[in-house]
Amino acid sequence: MFSIRSIISSAVLFVFLLAGNAYAAPKQPAGDAIEKRAAAATPMKVSAVEKLYAGRTWKWQNGGGFYSAETTARGLFSANRKPFAAWSRKRAAWSYAEGNWYATNGGKLCMRALWTSKVAKGSLARSGAITCFLHREKHGVVYQKPFIGGKWYVFRHNPARRDDEARKLVKGNRVSKEVSHLKANSR
């Protein structure tokens, strides 16, 4: 069993590791103007969100997350869920996740995963997490924001710019090797 202290440490580590990734978008001027443009944009449909992420790895500063294009057939209500795997490392601290992802017609993208983290003095902690982002689109410009907190920002301009966060979505699975390595080290 894990102590309350290790569970809290794990949760704090997870928040720090993920927060650095979730808010990794470039700082953009005129936040209020972007908020207004995002509010005037239309929430993306499931097919558009899936097209944006499926079969791609979102490269983070200290890791990445892979959104499989394959659909899992587990359970009655999980027909639209696809495997998700991620890892993050900062110095000696690391985490990996395995779970699934899904999109909704409201432009929401969610990752539901069990994170395993190496915390103080090599002990391991596990915690489940659901992380969601909202997406809106207007005239080819995609806006994104964390579902809880955060502000809207331009995820992809039209035409795309070199510093767009969407450019960090690269084709293929670029996380499985590292997840397997971390998983093997956690046994």
Instruction: Give pLDDT tens digits for 87-115.
Output: 999 888 899 999 999 999 899 999 999 99
pLDDT of residue 76: 54
> Percentage of residues in the chain with pLDDT exceeding 90?
65
pLDDT of residue 170: 97
pLDDT of residue 5: 38
Q: Is residue 138 part of a domain?
A: yes
Tokens of 61: 């500063």
pLDDT of residue 71: 83
Count of domains observed in the chain? 1
Q: Is residue 28 part of a domain?
A: no
Q: Is residue 121 part of a domain?
A: yes
Q: Is residue 167 part of a domain?
A: yes
The pLDDT of 119-128, averaged and rounded, is 82
132-173 residue pLDDT tens: 999 999 999 999 999 998 899 999 999 999 999 999 999 999
pLDDT of residue 26: 47
pLDDT of residue 87: 96
Q: Got the DSSP string for the chain?
A: ---HHHHHHHHHHHHHHHHHHHT-SPP-S-HHHHHHHHHHSEEPPHHHHHHHHTTEEEEETTEEEEE-SPPP--STT-TT-EEEEEEEEETTEEEEEEEEEEE-TTSEEEEEEEEEEE-GGG-EEEEEEEEEEEEEEETTEEEEEESSS---EEEE-SS--TT-GGGGEEES--SHHHHHHHHHHT-
Tokens of 123: 């002990």
What pTM was computed for the model? 0.80
Q: Is residue 50 part of a domain?
A: yes
Q: Is residue 7 part of a domain?
A: no
pLDDT category at 78 given cuts 50, 70, 90 is low
pLDDT of residue 24: 43
Query: Domain range for residue 128?
Result: 45-73+82-185
Q: Is residue 33 part of a domain?
A: no
pLDDT category at 19 given cuts 50, 70, 90 is very low
pLDDT category at 45 given cuts 50, 70, 90 is very high
Largest interatomic CA distance in the chain: 52
**Which candidate, 84, 141, 78, places its Cα nearest to that of 115?**
84
Check whether 179 has a pLDDT greater than 70: yes
Query: Are the C-beta atoms of 97 and 84 separated by less than 8 Å?
Result: yes
Q: Is residue 20 part of a domain?
A: no
Burial of 143 (0-12, 13-18, 19+ CB in 10 A): buried
